[in-house]
């Protein structure tokens, strides 16, 4: 098993003391791990090197936020940069299929999933964009491949060009264009022949077909599991034929996705779709987010960081619960409760969820405790001194006047707040004293 990048980085940063910003040494240590992780994810060495150089420049001196560790911070920077590179600025959202019939040339090695992908894309265009699509196989060496496309066509309800034995690839391409024009098709997809390896004959043929077909899109289909080979294939096709984008297949397998990054960096062409299985619906537009997560060896860094924050909140809640059980409930506690409620979508919904609190929620509603009331209450608490918040019994007339004025509100409103705090302190005490820790259960609910 691969260790994931966040674990590795965690290891690096555990040895460091807490600092406000990432120093050059921290970043250098972390980048060794990042580079190893990239290489293990099948990113090519020059691409990994270049990537690390750019991330180093970004990470050095960047401030470490309190809620996450320096390791997570670096992972986040790496993640964001991965997305930036993978996404590119020039990737179009959809296939260019204006001026019907728009030719789409499908190229790639044999076994890459080219025929399957041709049919998947045709189905997508038909189902989602209501386009009339004609598919044609140009694989004159392999009658079985032509048959396969015809079978898939029947299965998905997309027309295929009738097979005429003895025609060359160029002849088929020409016939396909004519047929598409005459038949009023919106798109004509040309599934070119594949070879096991790239050779001159293949490239010559694809070039000739390209010149006849004048494709609006030339999509290279590559097997996402083949790593470095996939990058070499992409470079060859880009140099010899020119491609407008890449489709990575078998991304449902456990390939690590590094090929995507290399391919993007080396060819400069966007990845447009990913194949996620053998079924005809198993294709999706490329999402940089998902691949970035794969390369880093984890689902999603952002959710990881969020989880870290949640853990902090749980710890905070537990600390508060201990206080409540002792019947301690001062203005600080009330304020954090009110703030929690604001965050979690309003008072009533939260109290309604807690056993024993439903009645209180009703009372609160009756007392006009809407969200603007919660904001006013927080303003009143903020207007108190530290000592007053910790010990609300201190609040005599003169202090009350000062606090209310500070919040721009009436003393009557402050009195209501005090009453509420006392009631809540009582309730907490009762609940905390009950057998079986009713409060604990209530907080967990």
For residue 257, say whether it is annotated as part of any ligand binding site. no
Burial of 135 (0-12, 13-18, 19+ CB in 10 A): buried
Stretch that binds ligand GDP, among 54-62, 107-115, 265-273, 350-358 (CB under 6 A): 107-115
Considering only CA atoms, give the Rg of the chain.
32
What is the rounded distance in angstroms from the CA atom of residue 386 to the CA atom of residue 26? 38
Q: Is 389 in the site for ligand GDP (CB under 6 A)?
A: no
Does 143 bind ligand GDP (CB under 6 A)? Our answer is: no
Instruction: For residue 115, say whether it is annotated as part of any ligand binding site.
Output: yes
Interface region with ligand GDP, contact rule CB under 6 A, candidates 114-122, 303-311, 380-388, 405-413? 114-122
CB neighbourhood size of 313 (10 A):
11
Report the run of H or E that residue 163 belongs to, with start and end.
none
Site membership for ligand GDP, residue 140 (CB under 6 A): no
Q: Using CA atoms, how far apart are residues 236 and 198, in angstroms rounded to an integer? A: 8
Contact residue for ligand GDP among 6, 87, 115, 337 (CB under 6 A):
115
194 lies in the binding site for ligand GDP (CB under 6 A) = yes
The reply to whether 284 sits near ligand GDP by the rule CB under 6 A is: no
Is 109 annotated as ligand-binding? yes
User: Which pair of structure tokens corresponds to residue 13?
Assistant: 């940063």
189 is in an annotated binding site: no
290 is in an annotated binding site: no
For ligand GDP, the closer of residues 111 and 183 by Cβ is 111
* 141 in contact with ligand GDP (CB under 6 A): no
Would the annotation count 252 as a binding residue?
yes
Residue 116 found at the interface with ligand GDP (CB under 6 A): yes
251 is in an annotated binding site: yes
277 contributes a contact to ligand GDP by CB under 6 A: yes
CB 188, CB 134: distance < 8 Å: yes
Q: How far is the CB of 140 from ligand GDP (least distance, A)?
A: 14
Q: Which window, 158-166, 202-210, 271-279, 402-410, contacts ligand GDP (CB under 6 A)?
A: 271-279
Report the residue number whose CB is nearest to ligand GDP.
275
Q: Which residue has the tokens 């030719």?
A: 103
Contact 421, 334 (CB under 8 A): yes
Instruction: Single out the segment in contact with ligand GDP by CB under 6 A; choices: 14-22, 244-252, 386-394, 404-412.
Output: 244-252
Per DSSP, the residues of 172-234 read HHHHHHHHHHHTT-SEEEEE----SS--HHHHHHHHHHHHHH--SEEEEEEEGGGTHHHHHHH
The phi-psi region of residue 435 (left if phi > 0; otherwise alpha if psi is between -120 and 50; otherwise beta) is: beta
The reply on whether position 272 binds ligand GDP by CB under 6 A is no
Find, among 391, 388, 176, the residue nearest to 400 by Cα: 388
Q: C-beta of 55: minimal distance to ligand GDP in Å?
A: 30
- The span of 3-11, 72-80, 108-116, 419-427 binding ligand GDP (CB under 6 A) equals 108-116
Measured from the Cβ of residue 182, the count of other Cβ atoms closer than 10 Å reads 9
- Gap between the Cα atoms of 219 and 311, Å rounded: 45
Report whether 113 belongs to an annotated binding site. yes
Q: Is 427 annotated as a binding residue?
A: no
d(CA 411, CA 222): 72
Question: Is 249 annotated as a binding-site member?
Answer: yes
Please identify, among the stretches 104-112, 265-273, 310-318, 346-354, the one whose residues bind ligand GDP according to the rule CB under 6 A: 104-112
Residue 110 in contact with ligand GDP, rule: CB under 6 A: yes
- Is 69 among the residues that bind ligand GDP (CB under 6 A)? no
| 156/347 with CB nearer ligand GDP | 156
- Residue 26 has a CB neighbour count (10 Å cut-off) of 22
Give the residue among 4, 26, 43 at the shortest CA–CA distance from 258: 43
Is residue 410 annotated as involved in ligand binding? no
- Where along the sequence are the contacts to ligand GDP (CB under 6 A)? 108, 110-116, 194, 249-250, 252, 275-278, 282
Please state the residue numbers annotated as binding site: 108-115, 191-195, 249-252
Please report, in range form, the residues annotated as the binding site for GTP.
108-115, 191-195, 249-252
């Amino acid at each position: 098993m691969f260790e994931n990048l966040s674990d590795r980085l965690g290891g690096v940063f555990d040895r460091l003391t807490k600092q406000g910003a990432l120093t050059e040494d921290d970043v250098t240590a972390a980048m060794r791990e990042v580079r190893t992780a990239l290489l293990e994810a099948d990113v090519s060495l020059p691409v990994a090197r270049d990537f690390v150089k750019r991330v180093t420049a970004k990470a050095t001196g960047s401030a470490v936020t309190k809620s996450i560790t320096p390791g997570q911070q670096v992972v986040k920077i790496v993640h964001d940069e991965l997305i930036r590179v993978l996404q590119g600025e020039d990737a179009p959202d959809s296939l260019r299929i204006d001026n019907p019939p728009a030719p789409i040339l499908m190229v790639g090695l044999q076994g890459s999933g080219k025929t399957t992908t041709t049919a998947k894309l045709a189905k997508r265009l038909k189902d989602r964009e209501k386009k009339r699509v004609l598919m044609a196989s140009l694989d004159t060496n392999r009658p079985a491949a032509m048959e396969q496309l015809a079978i898939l066509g029947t299965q998905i309800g997309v027309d295929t060009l009738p097979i005429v034995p003895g025609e060359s690839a160029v002849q088929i391409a020409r016939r396909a264009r004519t047929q598409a024009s005459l038949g009023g098709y919106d798109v004509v997809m040309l599934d070119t022949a594949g070879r096991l390896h790239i050779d001159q004959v293949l490239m010559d043929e694809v070039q000739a077909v390209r010149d006849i077909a004048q494709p609006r899109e030339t999509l290279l289909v590559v097997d996402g599991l083949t790593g470095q080979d996939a990058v070499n294939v992409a470079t060859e096709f880009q140099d010899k034929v020119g491609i407008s984008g890449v489709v990575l297949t078998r991304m449902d397998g456990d390939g690590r996705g590094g090929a995507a990054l290399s391919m993007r960096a080396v060819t400069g062409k966007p990845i447009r779709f990913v194949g996620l299985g053998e079924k005809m619906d198993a294709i999706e537009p490329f999402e940089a987010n998902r691949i970035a997560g794969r390369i880093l060896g984890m689902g999603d860094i952002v959710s990881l960081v969020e989880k870290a924050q949640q853990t902090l909140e749980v710890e905070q809640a537990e600390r508060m619960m201990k206080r409540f059980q002792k019947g301690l409930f001062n203005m600080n506690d009330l304020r954090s409760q009110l703030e929690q409620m604001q965050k979690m979508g309003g008072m009533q919904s939260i109290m309604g969820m807690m056993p024993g609190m439903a009645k209180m929620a009703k009372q609160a509603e009756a007392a006009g405790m809407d969200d603007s009331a919660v904001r006013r209450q927080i303003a009143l608490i903020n207007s108190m001194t530290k000592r007053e918040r910790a010990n609300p019994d201190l609040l005599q007339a003169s202090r009350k006047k000062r606090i209310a004025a500070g919040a721009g509100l009436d003393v009557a409103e402050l009195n209501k707040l005090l009453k509420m705090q006392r009631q809540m302190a009582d309730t907490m005490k009762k609940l905390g004293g009950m057998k079986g820790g009713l409060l604990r259960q209530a907080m967990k609910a």
